[in-house]
Structure formats: structure tokens, C-alpha cells
Amino acid sequence: MDFVKLDVKGGIGRVTIDRQSKLNALNSGVLDELEEVFQSIANNDEIRVIIITGAGEKSFVAGADISQFPSMSPEEAHAFAQRGQSVFSLIESSSKPVIAAITGFALGGGCELALSCHIRYASDNALFGQPEVKLGVIAGYGGTQRLPRLIGRGRALDMLLSGRMVKADEAQQMGLVNGVYPQAELLPKVEEYAEGLLSQGPQAQALTLRAVFEGADSTLSSGLEAEASAFRDVFKTEDRVEGATAFLERRPAKFNNR
Ligand code: COA
């Protein structure tokens, strides 16, 4: 792998995008490797929680690689957007929690990558934006869809139509990130949070993610049916017996992911 590294320690898979000479901008090589890494994570029982970061202190990801834009035909642009969307949808559909740890620039495809993660924490120097309009193009890796769903249409349209950069504290106020830490504390804090997720029921987490994303684009009644069916499926697991028994025996639960 040239651009994407996976380190596994204590149940946590840390995915680092490392193309620092271009502020970790996403070229086709980065997308291919991200896809490969997330496919391997899905089949790796050692990994229960994933953290995504950008290498270096300056940038999470500064966007899709603009150098490809000048020569791109409309048909190629369609395929380009679909390719990024497909990789980001793979990340979003992970049955294991995915946390973005964002330092520096999260622009364009970088903001969209963060949006495809389940939870986002940022350092106090983080800058978010969908600056595509400044280039005369639009967001194409899910920004026009996931951003309004996360922060509301008005706030999303402000970002998408003005291309302005949003600092970490404003991103937190908008609900774009779950929390902000001083840069030096970001990774330790995110790791601590990830460890907290490790002690919860993994099957329950996977079924929660399934219910949330199945329901996200549906009517309330079909979303509630998605929840009821996930609730039924969690009662097929051994972990739910352990969870309730541990509570009644006043001891911490020991989940086996079964
Ligand atoms: N695609 C391709 N290359 C990129 C890039 C991107 N999205 N973002 C940064 N780079 C490259 C620069 O071209 C430069 O390469 P070079 O050293 O070979 O010339 C290198 O990364 C460093 O970027 P630079 O612009 O010199 O850093 P800076 O600190 O002055 O500015 C940014 C940082 C993020 C403000 C600026 O790089 C920028 O605006 N990037 C584009 C952001 C964007 O529009 N993203 C959405 C794309 S659809």
C-alpha cells in the first residue's frame, strides 16, 4: 500500500491516509487502497472499531485530487463521482463503528469522507468546507446528500453554495463534529472513546448501525420496522443473554461477539 496504512492494536484498526505532499488529497490510488482496507477490515474479527486519520498535522484530507479535473469529460466526471461515492458508502455501511479523527483541512472529499464516518472528532485547528463552487464544480462524493442530512438543509446549503471554511468550534455547534480537542489531545481522546466502544456489545452496535442507516432514508413507519427487525435479530445473539445476566449479577458484561 502506497497511501493508506492499517495498524491494528487491541481491537482498534487505525486507518491513516498518507499522501502528505498533496495534503492527503484523494487520487484514484488512495480510493482503491481505502476500499481494499475497508474490505479487509470487514473480514477481520480482530478489529472491532475503526479510527480514520490523515497523516501529518496539516490536513485530514484536502479533497478529491483537483489535478484530474481539467481534462475530465462529463461522462468521466459521472464515473469519478460514482467511484468516490461507492468507496465512501462502503465505509458508511461498515458494521463496526468508524470514527474520524480530523486534524487540519477537511475540505471537499475530505469533508465528505468525514461525513461517511459514523462519529467525528476534530482538533481545534480543523477546517471544514465544501469549496467545490470556488472551482466551478459541485460536491460529488456525497456532500450534497450527507451534509444536509447531518446538519440540516439551511446550514448545508450555506457551506455548499458559499464554499466557506468552517472552523472546528462552529463545526461542533452545527453538529458536524461530535467534539473538539486541542491538537495534541485529539488522538489520545479518540482512542479512549474507541476503547469505550469496545466494551459494548458488538452485535448490538452492528444492528444499531443497520437500523439507523436502513431507517435514515425511509418513512418513520418503515424506519420503525427496520428497528423492530434489528431488535428481533439482536435477540438471536448470545451476547444479549450475557448482557442481561451480567446486569442481574452486578458484574461487567463479557461480550463474545456472538
Ligand atoms: N488536489 C490536488 N492537490 C492538492 C489538493 C487537492 N485537492 N489540495 C492541495 N493540493 C496540493 C497543492 O497543489 C500543493 O501541491 P504542490 O506542492 O505540488 O504545488 C500541495 O498540495 C500543498 O498545497 P498548498 O496549496 O501549497 O498548501 P496551502 O497551505 O497553501 O493551502 C489549502 C492549503 C488546503 C487551502 C489549498 O491547498 C487548497 O485550497 N486546496 C484545495 C482544496 C479544495 O478545493 N478541495 C476540494 C477539491 S474538489
pLDDT tens-place string over residues 33-44: 999 999 999 999
Going by C-beta distance under 8 Å and a sequence separation of 6 or more, which residues neighbour residue 249? none
Residue owning the nearest CA to atom 30 of ligand 1: 23
pLDDT tens-place string over residues 198-243: 999 999 999 999 999 999 989 999 999 999 999 999 999 999 999 9
pLDDT tens-place string over residues 9-48: 999 999 999 999 999 999 999 999 999 999 999 999 999 9
Residues of the chain with CATH 1.10.12: 202-248
> Does 202-248 carry CATH code 1.20.950?
no
Q: Is residue 133 lining ligand 1, measured as CB closer than 6 Å?
A: no
CATH superfamily of 4-198: 2-enoyl-CoA Hydratase; Chain A, domain 1 (3.90.226.10)
Whole-prediction pTM:
0.97
Marked catalytic residue, from 76, 92, 132, 195: 132
The yes-or-no answer on residue 192 being catalytic is: no
Number of H helices, E strands in the chain: 10, 10
Q: Is residue 77 lining ligand 1, measured as CB closer than 6 Å?
A: no
The yes-or-no answer on residue 132 being catalytic is: yes
pLDDT of residue 217: 86
Residues of the chain with CATH 3.90.226.10: 4-198
The neighbouring-strand residues paired with 252 are none
Residue owning the nearest CA to atom 16 of ligand 1: 22
From ligand 1's centre to the CA of 176, what distance in Å?
22
Given a contact cutoff of 8 angstroms between Cβ atoms, the answer to whether 94 and 38 are in contact is: yes
CA 23 vs CA 32, 44, 57, 208: distances in Å? 18, 29, 10, 34
From ligand 1's centre to the CA of 233, what distance in Å?
46
